[in-house]
Chains A and B, each alone.
Chain A
Amino acid sequence: MESKNIFQERLVEARKKRRLSQDELANKTKLQASAISHFETGGRKPSFDNLKRLADALEITSDYLLGRTNDPSGIIENDPIYRDFENLTAQERDIARDFMKSLAKGSKKREGRK
């Protein structure tokens, strides 16, 4: 419940800081203006895809939008990852870890292009 409120607050705050109307943010994210309005009023929950689009357009991170960090460009480096991780074999764990690392590299490349 708390993180939902933080998401609503931070979305409004970040949009206003960038001086964007709901329509303008909708255009930038290719989401409907009504979706932005629903996110801000708590009438709709975002998907990962929504979060990524909003974070990109507002030049902040999803983790900040969700209240998981107080730094607008911050990410959760040490996620308490791997629910059911014990179900994976050692080899599968290594593959998952390597994949996570390569995703991080992709993310850094993306930052470099900004």
Chain B
Amino acid sequence: MSHPFGESNARHHSELLLRELEINSFPVCPFLIADKLNVEVRQLPSNKKGVSGMLLRNDDQFGILYATYLENSGFERFSISHEIGHYYLPGHPDVILVDGIHQSHAGFISYDKYEMEADYFAANLLMPKFLFETALDQAGVGLDGIEKLAAQCNTSLTATAIRYAQHVPEAVAIIISTNDLIDYCFMSDTLKEFRGLDWLRKGTPVPSDTFTHNFNKKASNISQGARKDGDTNLQYWFGGDHEIEMLEEIIGLGSYGKTLTVLSTSDLPTEEDLDEEEALMESWTPRFRR
């Protein structure tokens, strides 16, 4: 028999847990949740980049160790929530009990399906839809909005940006890059539905006509959390037939070593606009030919 699995399952269980613990306001505290579940949480002090968190078990007592090397409380809270996901999600004992200890490299760049489910659980636990969408309405569009939400949810800029792109009604893309390569890109539904755009895949180069491309050439921009913004064009990033102006906002993510780019526009033509434009072009073309 197949068991429910994946993003919707993770969301269902994170919301179930929040309901059970009567948590209905921001910020959601993973330390408190772990405590309520009798899971002990401790720091794993280290300067070494690597393991972000681990779930340990001895008899029926559970503990979570979380790494502090990034000195980013949002990242730490996500790592703890990810491990709570391994503890709380059905079916995870099947893969984890082989070892008795479970290590994770938290973040959305994770291809193991159980790791991905734990990531979805963490995002939904810290930024549940029923709270996040209301907060998003008040936060506004672009990097400022993401920063306000990150402060409200006490989550990292990266995790908040991903969640933001998944829920914002406007045409928005968030892009994480390292040097001249794209790590990943999340597009809002409105942007995804816009015809003719290419998806930015992991490992593709940052387009050369963009502010991000220049920004990433200077390492101190990233390490010191520099900011930059300017007007860009939808076509530079995603191809397609339409030159649409977008705002490109960039911030260096410090010790994470990556760059966050937020692209946004409120001027994306609707399907009807595009149809009208095409019809107009069609009606004009024969006249020129005559």
Contacts from A to B (Cβ < 8 Å): 3-4, 42-52, 55-56, 61-63, 66, 68, 75-76, 79-85, 87-89, 91-92, 95-96, 99-104, 106-107, 110
How many Å lie between the Cα of A48 and that of B114 in the bound state?
14
Q: Are B37 and A49 touching (Cβ within 8 A)?
A: yes
Option from A66, A75, A83 in Cβ contact (under 8 Å) with B59: A75
Q: Are A89 and B48 touching (Cβ within 8 A)?
A: yes
Decide: A103 near B56, CB < 8 A? Known: A49-B87, A96-B65: yes
Q: Which residue of B lies closest to A78 (CB)?
A: B100
Q: Are B99 and A80 touching (Cβ within 8 A)?
A: yes
Binds A, one of B39-47, B187-195, B198-206, B207-215: B39-47
Answer whether residue B98 sits at the interface, using C-beta atoms and an 8 A cutoff: yes
How many Å lie between the Cα of A4 and that of B40 in the bound state?
28
User: What mask results when residues 33 to 73 of chain B are scored 1 for a CB within 8 Å of chain A, else 0?
Assistant: 00001101010111010110010111111110100000000
Answer whether residue B88 sits at the interface, using C-beta atoms and an 8 A cutoff: yes
How many Å lie between the Cα of A2 and that of B224 in the bound state?
54
Answer whether residue B93 sits at the interface, using C-beta atoms and an 8 A cutoff: yes
| The 3 residue pairs across chains A and B that have the minimum distance between CB atoms | A79-B100, A81-B100, A83-B99
Contacts from B to A (Cβ < 8 Å): 1, 3, 13, 37-38, 40, 42, 44-46, 48, 50-51, 54, 56-63, 65, 86-94, 96-103
**Least Cβ distance of A19 to chain B in Å?**
23
Decide: A55 near B99, CB < 8 A? Known: A45-B3, A48-B92, A99-B42: no
Q: Are B51 and A88 touching (Cβ within 8 A)?
A: yes
- Would you call the interface of chain A mostly helix, strand, loop, or mixed? helix
Q: Are B100 and A76 touching (Cβ within 8 A)?
A: yes
Chain A contacts of B91 at CB under 8 A? 45, 47
21 A-B pairs (CB sep. < 8 Å): A45-B90, A47-B13, A47-B92, A47-B93, A49-B37, A50-B90, A52-B38, A61-B59, A68-B97, A79-B57, A88-B50, A89-B46, A91-B46, A92-B44, A95-B45, A96-B56, A99-B40, A99-B63, A103-B40, A103-B58, A107-B61
Q: Are A87 and B63 touching (Cβ within 8 A)?
A: no
Decide: A107 near B100, CB < 8 A? Known: A44-B90, A48-B92, A66-B93: no
**Least Cβ distance of A113 to chain B in Å?**
13
Q: Are B46 and A48 touching (Cβ within 8 A)?
A: no
Decide: A87 near B37, CB < 8 A? Known: A45-B3, A75-B59: no
Q: Which residue of B lies closest to A106 (CB)?
A: B61
How many Å lie between the Cα of A51 and that of B59 in the bound state?
11
